[in-house]
Amino acid sequence: MARVFSGIQPTGDMHLGNYLGAVRQWVADQDTHDAIYCVVDLHAITSPYDPAELAEQTRRTATILLAAGLDPDRCTLFVQSHVPAHTELTWILNCVATVGELRRMTQFKEKGRGQESVSAGLFDYPVLMAADILAYDTDRVPVGDDQRQHLELARDIALRFNHRFGKTLVVPEAAIPPFGARVMDLQHPTAKMSKSANSPQGTIALLDDPGVITKRLTSAVTDSESDIRFDPEQKPGVANLLQILAAATGKAIPDVERDHAGKGYGALKAATAEAVVEFLRPLRARYEELEADPGRVTALLTLGADKAEAIATKVITRVRDAVGLLPRA
């Protein structure tokens, strides 16, 4: 079976964008791929954060992933910092990646903008991400649209490595969903919905109360026209609601567009709110069950780290050998 690998940062509560852009695909891929998923805590410390909250947020993110449908019997779920191969491979890949290509990363430019000091870790973030992927001989990486450039870099690093040291690394492909890959902020529909940026008004966290979800969706920003059509360029707010409604009801966008043609924005928002509340109801219930038994999640993550480490250790041994490091006798 082909292997998929993907990761999510424990930077805050998972939202609808994470789910529709990435995690929905992760759940589906468990049946068709050898699937490995990772809570990337080492990525989360590249931007300012609260150390007192990181461990809890990491556990919480893993718990939400399980509630969303990851099944530890059918996939490997673990915490990045539990497997040291990620940081070890990062160093070696740092010597293959160039400062010039890292400087071109738009996420670095965006996250660094306006900060008085930016960590070297934030600059190196894409190399750690490449190491995550390449440490598992990954074929396919399901991510949202914002990660396209990072994936391209991981491929370039793998190709350059293989060219320089002989065929060692598997060159991965990005898997970006045809819709849902870019869920927009409800208040600022030209910016992506995000855990760490913007105000919470524009975001729907997967665990939000039904009342909060309804309020956020019914006060979503649209435009001053009144026609309902899917046009992300001209009508980003309406297009965003249509894609969310389609995803939550399992319908195609043209179908929801047709269902709502001629109706007002109020009706579209109300229908979207109702669909999202219903869609997330079982996830909330499963989360509460898992939350009641934190020892179980901890045990699952330990098992996941063991499985992941067994794979990564083989790859890192191959890499050490390829770059000419003296083997430890």
Helix 85-94 to helix 294-323 angle (10° resolution) is: 30
Rounded to the nearest 5 percent, the helix, strand and coil shares of the chain are 55, 10, 35
Q: Which stretch binds ligand ATP (CB under 6 A): 80-88, 119-127, 160-168, 192-200?
A: 192-200
Q: Any idea which residue has 């409800």 for tokens?
A: 186
For ligand LTN, the closer CB: 237 or 304: 304
Q: How many C-beta atoms surround the C-beta of residue 209 within 10 A?
A: 11
269 annotated active-site: no
Q: Any idea which residue has 């008004």 for tokens?
A: 201
Q: Which of 117, 58, 46 is nearest to 87 (CA)?
A: 46
**What's the min distance (Å) between Cβ of 323 and ligand ATP?**
29
Partner touching 81 among ligand ATP, ligand LTN, none, CB below 5 to 8 Å by kind: none
Q: Which stretch binds ligand ATP (CB under 6 A): 8-16, 88-96, 124-132, 238-246?
A: 8-16
Q: Is 272 in the site for ligand LTN (CB under 6 A)?
A: no
Cα distances (Å, whole numbers) of residue 226 to 210, 229, 235, 278, 308: 27, 10, 10, 26, 51
For ligand ATP, the closer CB: 17 or 126: 17
CA 57 – CA 308 distance, rounded (Å): 21
CA 130 – CA 313 distance, rounded (Å): 16
263 annotated active-site: no
**Interacting residue with ligand ATP among 3, 5, 17, 305 (CB under 6 A):** 17
Nearest-CB residue to ligand ATP? 21
**What's the min distance (Å) between Cβ of 136 and ligand LTN?**
9
CA 323 – CA 31 distance, rounded (Å): 36
Q: Which stretch binds ligand LTN (CB under 6 A): 4-12, 89-97, 156-164, 286-294?
A: 4-12
- Buried (b) or exposed (e) across 46-79, using 16+ Cβ within 10 A? bbebeeeebeebbbbbbbbbbbbbbebeebbbbb
**What's the min distance (Å) between Cβ of 179 and ligand ATP?**
10
**Interacting residue with ligand LTN among 9, 57, 81, 249 (CB under 6 A):** 9
**Interacting residue with ligand LTN among 83, 96, 127, 129 (CB under 6 A):** 129
Angle at 192 between CA 24 and CA 276, to 5 degrees: 45
Q: Which stretch binds ligand LTN (CB under 6 A): 27-35, 126-134, 187-195, 294-302?
A: 126-134
CA 101 – CA 13 distance, rounded (Å): 31
**What's the min distance (Å) between Cβ of 141 and ligand LTN?**
5
314 annotated active-site: no
Positions annotated as catalytic residues are 111, 192, 195
Footprint of ligand LTN on this chain (CB under 6 A)? 5-7, 9, 40, 43, 129, 132-133, 141, 143, 147, 150
